[in-house]
């Protein structure tokens, strides 16, 4: 039995565990005020080509989205997102619990199109009654998206320009950012992202860490007393070292990029196998998530020897399923899959 169920089914990259072990008995201050957090922040600033960036570590994705978004919006503002965005669908109303509406726009390939965004913003302010509606106060995108797709540099530039025009921040959810950066078909680098986004996060949980996401404010735009805001959301880890050590390891000698590249190579192989076997793709992706349309009988058959994720019903007799690779996927897993198909 092999598994491609998701990219968070296994623990952490071995170098992370080694480093946790090695530093375990050091006495360090709590709440992120330790040398490993400092070192990790420095390395992230360098990787982003953004010396003035302010970096904070949080534990998980929903927590990060809610803390960042709530801290940057005024009460009368909502966050604009594709209707398939993670905050729109699978975060149990965390954004609304914090008092803010998710203003959903139609997605294209899981993405928020610059044209759709521009038309929406122009329309909002053109409406004479907009004072009775929720103001767009921020734009949320995920990269890769929930559908495994990627924004091009040109798309990010267009989104960023529109946000600037309307004076609202552009926020990128990078839960799987590593896989997006190392995709075989992308022109948007981490430096581009740091330049074009006002704030984004570099996902750790799904890219080799036990837990942890690194939030990057790129323009001296950290909300005041952000540490207190993190605390207030129950998101401040007492043993901040756990996050610092993990990100310090991931950003030492390019580990984050190497393990992401590995996942992409495994995914590319998998895509080749599906293609050569004549499987139908639900959507074309170049990252670590592959969406396949299976006949239900075929799905049942496969389930006995390989684990994958249910995505959605396509029609009464077909289902969309997801195969995900990760930093931990092995060549052997892929070979077994090849034989199975």
Q: Is the CB of 71 or the CB of 286 nearer to its own copies?
A: 71
Q: According to CB under 8 A, which residues from 137 to 176 bind its own copies?
A: none
The contact mask relative to its own copies for 300-319 (x = CB under 8 A, - = no) is: -------x--x---------
In the list 43, 45, 56, 100, the residue contacting its own copies (rule: CB under 8 A) is 100
User: What DSSP character marks residue 134?
Assistant: P
Q: According to CB under 8 A, which residues from 104 to 133 bind its own copies?
A: 128-129, 131-133
Q: Is the CB of 115 or the CB of 187 nearer to its own copies?
A: 115
Q: Is the CB of 66 or the CB of 156 nearer to its own copies?
A: 66
Name beta bridge partners: 141: 172
What residues contact 121, with CB distance under 8 A and at least 6 apart? Answer: 136, 162, 166
Structural tokens at position 311? 């995505």
Q: According to CB under 8 A, which residues from 240 to 269 bind its own copies?
A: 241-242
Rounded Cα–Cα distance for residues 93 and 62 (Å): 10
The contact mask relative to its own copies for 30-59 (x = CB under 8 A, - = no) is: x----------------------------x
Q: Is the CB of 146 or the CB of 155 nearer to its own copies?
A: 146
**Minimum distance, C-beta of residue 304 to its own copies, in the bound complex (Å):** 16
Nearest to 83 by CA among 98, 103, 99: 103
The contact mask relative to its own copies for 175-214 (x = CB under 8 A, - = no) is: ------------------------------xx---xx---
Q: Is the CB of 24 or the CB of 220 nearer to its own copies?
A: 24
In the list 97, 119, 122, 191, the residue contacting its own copies (rule: CB under 8 A) is 97
Q: Is the CB of 12 or the CB of 196 nearer to its own copies?
A: 12
**Minimum distance, C-beta of residue 1 to its own copies, in the bound complex (Å):** 9
User: Total residues contacting its own copies (rule CB under 8 A)?
Assistant: 78
Q: Is the CB of 28 or the CB of 161 nearer to its own copies?
A: 28
Is the CB of residue 248 less than 8 Å from the CB of residue 36?
Answer: yes
Q: How many CB atoms lie within 10 A of CB 140?
A: 24
Q: Residue 133 to residues 103, 112, 127, 170: CA-CA distances in angstroms?
A: 11, 21, 10, 21
**Minimum distance, C-beta of residue 257 to its own copies, in the bound complex (Å):** 21
Helix axes 241-250, 255-276, angle to 10 degrees: 70
DSSP codes, 265-309? HHHHHHHHHHHHTTPEESS---SSEEEEEEEHHHHHHHHTTEE-E
Q: According to CB under 8 A, which residues from 209 to 228 bind its own copies?
A: 210-211, 224-225, 227-228
In the list 45, 57, 91, 105, the residue contacting its own copies (rule: CB under 8 A) is 91
Helix axes 241-250, 14-23, angle to 10 degrees: 130
Q: Is residue 236 a contact residue for its own copies (CB under 8 A)?
A: yes
Q: Is the CB of 19 or the CB of 287 nearer to its own copies?
A: 19
Q: Judging by beta carbons within 10 Å of its beta carbon (0-12, 13-18, 19+), is residue 38 exposed, middle or buried? A: middle
**Minimum distance, C-beta of residue 71 to its own copies, in the bound complex (Å):** 7
Structural tokens at position 16? 């992370």
Rounded Cα–Cα distance for residues 322 and 339 (Å): 18
Name beta bridge partners: 293: 280, 320
Q: According to CB under 8 A, which residues from 58 to 87 bind its own copies?
A: 59-67, 70-71, 74-76, 78
């Amino acid at each position: 039995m092999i598994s491609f169920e998701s990219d968070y089914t296994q623990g952490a990259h071995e170098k992370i565990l080694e480093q946790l072990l090695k530093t375990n008995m050091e006495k360090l201050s709590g709440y992120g005020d330790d040398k490993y957090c400092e070192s990790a922040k420095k390395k992230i600033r360098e990787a982003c080509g953004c010396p003035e960036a302010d970096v904070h570590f949080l534990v998980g994705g929903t927590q990060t989205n809610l803390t960042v978004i709530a801290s940057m919006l005024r009460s009368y503002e909502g966050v604009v997102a594709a209707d398939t965005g993670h905050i729109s669908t699978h975060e149990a109303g965390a954004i609304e619990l914090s008092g803010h509406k998710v203003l959903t726009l139609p997605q294209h390939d899981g993405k928020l199109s610059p044209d759709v965004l521009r038309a929406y913003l122009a329309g909002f302010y053109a409406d004479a009654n907009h004072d009775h509606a929720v103001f767009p106060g921020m734009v949320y995108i995920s990269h890769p998206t929930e559908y495994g797709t990627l924004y091009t540099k040109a798309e990010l530039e267009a989104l960023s320009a529109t946000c600037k025009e309307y004076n609202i921040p552009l926020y990128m959810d990078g839960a799987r950012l590593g896989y997006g950066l190392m995709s075989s078909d992308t022109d948007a680098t981490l430096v581009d992202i740091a330049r074009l986004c006002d704030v984004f996060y570099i996902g750790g949980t799904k890219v080799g860490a036990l837990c942890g996401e690194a939030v990057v404010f790129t323009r001296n735009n950290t909300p005041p007393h952000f540490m207190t805001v993190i605390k207030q959301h129950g998101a401040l880890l007492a043993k901040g070292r756990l996050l610092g050590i993990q990100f310090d390891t991931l950003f030492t000698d390019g580990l984050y990029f190497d393990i992401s590249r590995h996942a992409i190579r495994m995914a590319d192989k998998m895509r080749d196998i599906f293609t050569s076997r004549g499987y139908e793709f639900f959507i074309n992706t170049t990252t670590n998530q592959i969406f396949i349309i299976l006949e239900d009988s075929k799905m049942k058959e496969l389930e006995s020897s390989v684990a994958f994720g249910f995505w959605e019903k396509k029609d009464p007799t077909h289902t969309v399923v997801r195969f995900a690779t990760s930093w931990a996927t092995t060549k052997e897993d892929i070979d077994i899959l090849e034989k199975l198909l």
